[in-house]
Chain A
Amino acid sequence: MDMNEIKEIFFQECEEQLAELESGLLRLNDGDTDPETVNAVFRAVHSIKGGAGAFGLDDLVSFAHVFETTLDCVRSNKLEASQDLLKVMLRSADVLADLTAASRDGGTVESSRTSGLVAELEAYAKGQPLPASAAAPVAVAPESVKTEAPAPVAEAPEPTDDSGFQPVPFSFDALDGEDELAIDGGRSVFTVRFKPRSDLYAKGNEAVLILRELAKLGDLQVRCETDDLPSLDMLDPEGAYFSWLIRVETESDEEAVRQVFEFVEWDSTVEITAGADEEAFSAPAASGEDQPMAAVPFDLSLLEDEPPVSAEAAAPAAPAPAAGEPALAPANMPLAAKAIAEAEKKETVVPAVPAAPQTIRVDLDRVDRLINLVGELVINQAMLAQSVVENESGGSSAVNLGLEELQQLTREIQDSVMAIRAQPVKPVFQRMGRIVREIADMTGKQVRLVTEGENTEVDKTVIDKIAEPLTHMIRNAVDHGLERPEKRTELGKNAEGVLRLSAKHRSGRIVIEIADDGAGINRERVKAKAIENGLIAPDANLSDEDIDNLIFHPGFSTADKISDISGRGVGMDVVKRSIQALGGRISITSKPGKGSIFTMSLPLTLAVLDGMVVTVANQTLVVPLTAIVETLQPEKADIHSFGPSQRLIAIRDTFCPLVDVGHILNFRSDLANPIDGVALLVESEGGGQRALMVDAIQGQRQVVIKSLEANYTNVPGIAAATILGDGRVALILDVDAVVTASRGQPLSPDMMLAATG
């Protein structure tokens, strides 16, 4: 596993942590006071910082550190999580996400955003919140964020020490050191303890070369620890006895120093700490001249971290005549103890994370392959079942039993495999929260985003692709849909606009709704604009619905002035196109003064669906079972004509339009006699019920969806295709399209227009 892969994993984890961070902050924002929530938020930032430190992502580290410090104050109840603070924190979370993205994909984050927030966060941590405007000038200059990363760190208030917190999340000492990093005219000082093992030499490495490499970085002050050296008779010429204490004064950062030891870190003990270890050097320098061989006193210097212990330990050792061995034990022990202490310190830093379910990361391609294979398996199983039925002679129950079991197993495998790909829409919805915040800030509007059905699962590919159109629609809704706070108050509405984002499963599709409680579509303006742009004739007589749909036309923008956020003239038509590319549909309902609702319905791609296999005009069709409410045999008395070609069917106490599927799909030109067929009562996306008339029901079956768009082209009224047990292709009916078509407009033109965008 090379570094890039590890880094990739780090970024993936970052995404999870960022999501965790945001949802935690939002919970706090909603008044959650559970300390565990604060902890979770803290941990998220902490982990990102830790990982970033290991990869030398300084910008990320320094920002995360400040963020973390403020969070720590909240955690220790030094600071109250006020609404204002949470606002700052939410923005900080956004910046953190940007910094992460910038670290991964290159690019930069506007330094003014970072530095302003750093100043605000620090001010909060110090207990003296700044007014937002004052924050910027105090801020650290952008360049210095990089080179002088520790500067804001050093100024940051001391986090609660009793929690044992030290910014040492990783096994590396990187961050530990940075706090005390000595900056001396841009040069930093590091103390390196380097003890090779014999393996290092055995593998052809050479301590001399490493030190030479290190010397290239800056000025070295080297002291060789020779106490381990045995007497000549006892010496293993290929052993490793020397170790070094090195003071490096360099313009490079710790990472550069560490890189020198990159290839030998497994074969030696390398300890790099920031800052000078002056005592370590001064001691030997003093005694070194008169008693070059008096190695024992040298070692005292090593122990300077724990003076009382080391003094005692070394004192008896000093007079020992045989220079090395006796002194060794005390000399090394405190070091070891220190290492252990450090390790323990690190362990206490990160509080126990609540046990998360174990997960593995799998390449999406592998899952896709599996899904395809399972699809084939399902078809194959259906074929087998069919041929058994056809060859059924004496009714071998064993075969039937086995077949049934096979069917169940296949089904279970299928469900499990599909579940692997299915993901909740939550991450996408969470991202929208941020977009709403940003746009609300930019437009000066007050918006509350309410999300529903975040756990609705949909295929991963769909999730990846809906983010963009969704973003666009959200922007539109805030920018164009919602009114300004003053206006809202004037109109008697709450100054805070509500944007409702919801997801649900409906008829085997996922339906995502974006509803705002804003002004609704200004139809007069839309119409005027459309006439102005030459989209419609001035005297065109359009229904409200038609006018609403005009906004999906290419090159249409309702905003009077073009804003930064939306309305560059490439508005909803782009959204519509990308949704259609997914095999989805988008519609709009708007009530003046009450708001608009955009509804997009997307297929659960690649899914397997339970369908009713029906015959229409000698064609085999599959109707998604999820859409069917009930089936019934129409009786002559129940059928009522309505207008020239419309018919209604009475079902119990209600009338329901009867839709002749064969006619709508142009399988036949005349209307079929309802008495000869079967009616399927379906629920369409709009919520209304329709009775679809088909010739006969063949049975109920599970079918694997094969995309028509991918293999052929989009066919109006048909959602997809499938392969039946006998190897024939059957088309899957797009119930909603058929229902829409039954409302009067013929199926093709509208849909064809849609298909070509």
Chain B
Amino acid sequence: MSSDGTSAKVLKLPEVLDLNAASRLHEQVLAHKGEDIDIDASDVSRVGAQCLQVLLAAAKSWRAEDQNFKVQPASDVFIKTLQLLGISDEALLPKEMLK
């Protein structure tokens, strides 16, 4: 996936992505539908499974529509949580972490 990054909108994720944040995140992501998007997860210090569900569903939708969706940059916590949960979707994990 790849290429640009310059033209894409950036969605900055809040620090805490617990279950209370899931609905809001869902709305925010939906609002950007149809355009390339970069998710900035660098501030994330806590993330729950439900928010990841939203992000993963979004990644799939974007891919189905051939739009760019990628998470970059991402905090350690964010990456570690993804790994812990066994989610290996490359759209969510910054490329260099995929090994």
The judgment on whether A and B are partners is: yes
A278 CB, min distance to chain B CBs, angstroms: 16
CB-CB under 8 A for A215 and B53, given A201-B19, A201-B48: no
Closest B residue to A231 by beta carbon equals B61
**Counting CB contacts under 8 A, is A3 at the interface?**
no
Contact assessment for A211 and B84 in the assembled complex, using a CB-CB cutoff below 8 Å: yes
B59 CB, min distance to chain A CBs, angstroms: 9
A235, B57: Cα distance in complex, Å = 8
- Contacting A323 at CB < 8 Å: which of B19, B26, B49, B60? B60
The stretch among A80-88, A202-210, A424-432, A671-679 that forms the contact with chain B is A202-210
B interface majority secondary structure: helix
Closest A residue to B27 by beta carbon equals A237
Contact assessment for B87 and A224 in the assembled complex, using a CB-CB cutoff below 8 Å: yes
Contact assessment for B60 and A231 in the assembled complex, using a CB-CB cutoff below 8 Å: yes
The stretch among A89-97, A239-247, A306-314, A362-370 that forms the contact with chain B is A239-247
Contact assessment for A229 and B85 in the assembled complex, using a CB-CB cutoff below 8 Å: no
- Contacting A244 at CB < 8 Å: which of B18, B58, B86? B86
CB-CB under 8 A for A208 and B85, given A201-B19, A233-B30, A235-B54: yes
**Counting CB contacts under 8 A, is B63 at the interface?**
yes
Residues of A within 8 A of B81 (CB): 208
Per-residue CB proximity of B37-80 to A under 8 Å, as 1/0?
00000000001111011101110110110000000000000000
Question: Which residues A199-236 have CB closer than 8 A to chain B?
Answer: 201-202, 204, 206-208, 211-212, 215, 220-224, 226, 229-233, 235
How many positions in chain B have a CB within 8 Å of any CB in the partner chain? 31
Contact assessment for B18 and A232 in the assembled complex, using a CB-CB cutoff below 8 Å: no
**Counting CB contacts under 8 A, is A196 at the interface?**
yes
- Contacting A238 at CB < 8 Å: which of B50, B60, B64? B50
A653, B77: Cα distance in complex, Å = 106
Contact assessment for B88 and A288 in the assembled complex, using a CB-CB cutoff below 8 Å: yes
Residues of B within 8 A of A221 (CB): 86
Contact assessment for A241 and B53 in the assembled complex, using a CB-CB cutoff below 8 Å: yes
Closest A residue to B58 by beta carbon equals A232
A267 CB, min distance to chain B CBs, angstroms: 13
**Counting CB contacts under 8 A, is A138 at the interface?**
no
Contact assessment for B60 and A208 in the assembled complex, using a CB-CB cutoff below 8 Å: no
CB-CB under 8 A for A208 and B47, given A232-B58, A237-B54, A244-B86: yes
A20, B49: Cα distance in complex, Å = 51
Residues of A within 8 A of B60 (CB): 229, 231-232, 293, 323
Contact assessment for B85 and A207 in the assembled complex, using a CB-CB cutoff below 8 Å: yes
**Counting CB contacts under 8 A, is B89 at the interface?**
yes
Contact assessment for A237 and B25 in the assembled complex, using a CB-CB cutoff below 8 Å: yes
Residues of B within 8 A of A232 (CB): 26, 29-30, 33, 54, 57-58, 60-61
A611, B18: Cα distance in complex, Å = 78
Residues of A within 8 A of B50 (CB): 201, 237-240
- Contacting B26 at CB < 8 Å: which of A231, A235, A242, A246? A235
**Counting CB contacts under 8 A, is A292 at the interface?**
yes
A314, B22: Cα distance in complex, Å = 32
B50 CB, min distance to chain A CBs, angstroms: 6
Residues of A within 8 A of B90 (CB): 292
Q: A206-B19, A220-B84, A235-B26 are in contact. List 7 more A-B contacts (CB 8 A).
A: A201-B19, A201-B48, A206-B48, A208-B84, A226-B87, A232-B57, A288-B88
Leading 10 A-B pairs by shortest Cβ distance: A222-B86, A237-B26, A237-B22, A207-B49, A232-B61, A224-B86, A237-B23, A232-B57, A223-B86, A235-B57
Show 16 residue pairs from A and B whose CB-CB distance is below 8 angstroms, ordered by the A residue: A196-B49, A201-B49, A201-B50, A208-B85, A211-B84, A224-B88, A226-B89, A232-B26, A232-B29, A232-B60, A237-B25, A238-B23, A240-B49, A244-B85, A244-B86, A323-B60
